[in-house]
Structure 1
């Protein structure tokens, strides 16, 4: 067999050992012969550290997988079969600003929700579209598997404005929800399936099955009774009101706490902020510790400490998806893909996070009709926000950016939206060339 060439952009990420482990575990069914790890000059040191660890992992496993590291994206992309993206424009310092600036105005400061999520998208979408251009030239038949947050907006930007339509967005939250249900019911993950529908970080579990039998009511009751543990490490695990969960009657994802428990989440964030701490700064310390571990020449496996980073099950999600496509398994997995009428009331060209049949030709969304009335309004509101953010990212339209932020449920008024928007635009000047004229004007007005 010729084997596969896979390129990971953002290869110096602390998550990369997860991905390498996933490919090693599946080597018999997914023969990755070349894995190219790509990064930028600012990430060169981390890229070399992760690359050396990946080589040690592959050597220990005894699989014929070549690991290449490079700062030359075009060199890496030539004739790739799959490209995965896990990049962070502006690195963690940009995330710190995304969290600190909203919190300084008494608003939720979070990486993928509200103002922080919007600015991560504004920085990221132009870069991802550049990658897409290179792929159209150098590997036009490759699938792009995007793990970069905010994954839904990035995926939709590619679907609407990219050259290549072979795009899939991926998130570890749905597989984390499956794992949490498996633990709750004390069964192996393979026996659990959830019908997912919604948007990225706004996805719901409509029906839950154990061995093909619908156990949704049992799981909802257990969640209502506070029996389910945390799904992801990076979100505070406040208990849900029992009556609320029973009334909702579908499984929420952890990110719904920002919308259904806004007061508690904000109070907790402000408490940490008053101590000079945000989640971004916690992550920065975790990353520093992880890379110290990765430097150890005796380390040749993924260290367990990586799970504290918040990306648990990333490799399972990414590698099972690529394997299912390569082997045309036609199994069911939740991904971000073009709606194509699967969720009624959402534009067919929009990205949705939904359970799909995974084939060699990509994901086929399973039709769900309208979202439940309990959640349909919130999903529609967030989709409107996402679409306006994407347009602002592509065009540099300040007015669209302001409307986008104002209609987000985590922002209380247009005046507050403008204050935060202006401050974040100036703070991220280096990474927002599409807003150059606007930013110059804002700086003069100061």
Structure 2
């Protein structure tokens, strides 16, 4: 089995490598290709990756290359984890929206739109290269904004499934609180990427007992603290919203918070410099503890599980993925991309049935889906008016004056990445 990772020079990659090494029986990789245009980073990450494989006795071969076509040729699956513009672009995404009183964040709001505009054309180009060299390869997208990127891939006819680590993070945290094995915890997870709610927590599978009320009653403080939301919000909802819902439920407070502290991008950039220095140590043969603070917790387990299922090597019977709606949420278009529990096999991901949603959640999902449709049109076709319309549709913007000002700032800060600007 051959697997290619585009964006293989990311500081995330050793987390992925560690999972590939530990879970080699689930996903028996014979050749792993790390693809990245940044040769210096790729050398450091590739060296550590080989040492991790060697220490854990993995027989697979690790290859590094900056040539996308060569890297993805004959791959059974291609995992995308790239960041167009690097941390410098993320720093901008997280700062200029604040000038207009809006949340600055790299995956939602105005910053998330900027990332989508930079990313979608690049990802589609890579996907076309995959299709030319190996049309049967699966594309697993971990590149944010996952929902929009996955929708672009699917609408272009690619074999793609989107992946996020939010759900597996909740699963592992809830299992720890409940003192059960993670595999015993099944989440009723529903929404869009980075706009999801856990409406049930079941033991043993989809038909198991819903213990969410018990979980919140006994561990509500811990859950709320992890979300960085007041417990009152969680108790009144009676569900567990993703961390990203704080940008919607506490917008103004979050804006003030973001204005008074260093950006997450600055923190990550400093962390990355330290990690890359560590990766250059020829005696390091395991992922460093610092990597846990970088983000992407349990990403490797989720990626291995998904790839194993898509490639016919087993995997969990149900997994949370980003895939086409096809009537699962009847208030959305069939071609919308949703994030829900699904059965996954060699034919792709098929969402499990979702009970009728409370309008409190369905309304916001519908609103953001409309924005995502407009965002994708802007990413595919460009133009100031398309950018403006997407911003005006986003519930974190929503006002004419804000959308006008943010449109100008978005284009000014991203001109080098926008072919039409």
Q: Distance in 1 between matches of 2:414 and 2:237?
A: 39
Once residues 384 and 285 of structure 1 are traced to their aligned partners in structure 2, the CA distance between those partners, rounded to angstroms, is 36
Equivalent of residue 305 in structure 2, options 295, 306, 320: 320
- Within the alignment, does 1:290 sit opposite 2:256 as a pair? no
Q: 1:104 to 1:428 in 2, by over 3 A?
A: same
- Equivalence map 1:385-396=2 (5 Å): 385-396=371-382
Matched with 1:38 is 35
Residue 197 of structure 1 pairs with residue 182 of structure 2: no
Q: 1:215 to 1:336 in 2, by over 3 A?
A: same
Gaps of 5+ in 1: 232-236, 437-446
Higher mean C-alpha deviation, range 296-305 or range 102-111: 102-111
CA positional deviation for 1:140: 0.4
Match of 2:234 in 1: 245
Which has the higher mean CA deviation after the structures are superposed, 244-253 or 11-20? 244-253
- 5 Å-filtered alignment, 1:216-231, equals 216-222=212-218, 225-228=220-223, 231=226
Q: Does 1:333 align with 2:319?
A: yes
Give the TM-score of the pair, scaled to structure 1: 0.90
Structure 2 runs not aligned, ≥5 long: none
CA contact (8 A) 1:391 1:397 kept: no
**Cα distance, 1:6 vs. partner?**
0.4
Does the 8 Å CA contact 1:344/1:371 hold for their aligned counterparts? no
Aligned partner (choices 10, 13, 17) of residue 13 of structure 1: 10
C-alpha displacement of 1:34 = 0.6
In the alignment, what sits opposite 1:261? 250
CA apart distance, 1:22: 1.0
Aligned to 2:56: 61
Residue 148 in structure 1 maps to residue 168 in structure 2: no
- The answer to whether residue 173 in structure 2 is matched with residue 180 in structure 1 is yes
User: What is the CA–CA distance in structure 2 between the aligned matches of 1:329 and 1:364, rounded to whole Å?
Assistant: 15
What's the TM-score, normalizing by structure 2?
A: 0.96
SS of 1:29's equivalent? coil
For 1:42-441, list aligned pairs within 5 A: 43-160=38-155, 162-164=156-158, 166-211=159-204, 212-222=208-218, 225-228=220-223, 231=226, 237-242=227-232, 244-272=233-261, 277-325=262-310, 326-329=312-315, 331-433=317-419, 435-436=420-421
Does the Cα contact within 8 Å between 1:226 and 1:239 map onto a contact in 2? Answer: no
Aligned length: 417
CA contact (8 A) 1:122 1:432 kept: yes
Contact 1:248–1:374 (CA under 8 A) maintained in structure 2: no
Q: CA deviation at 1:239?
A: 3.2
C-alpha distance in 1, partners of 2:357/2:75?
37
Structure-2 separation of matches of 1:39 and 1:280:
20
Question: Could you say what secondary structure the match of 1:79 adopts?
Answer: coil
> How far 1:205 moved relative to its partner?
1.1
Following superposition, the deviation at residue 163 of structure 1 comes to: 3.5
Range with greater deviation from structure 2 (361-370 or 138-147) = 361-370
Residue-by-residue CA offset, 1:112-147 (whole Å, 9 max, x unaligned): 110000000000000011011111110100000000
Q: Verify the 8 A CA contact 1:342 1:369 in the aligned structure 2.
A: no
Q: Deviations over 1:65-100 (max 9, x none)?
A: 111110100011111100000000011101111111
Shift of 1:222: 4.1
Q: What CA distance in whole angstroms lies between the structure 2 residues aligned with 1:13 and 1:31?
A: 22
Q: 2: CA distance between counterparts of 1:85 and 1:324? A: 17
CA–CA separation in structure 2 for the residues paired with 1:421 and 1:385:
14
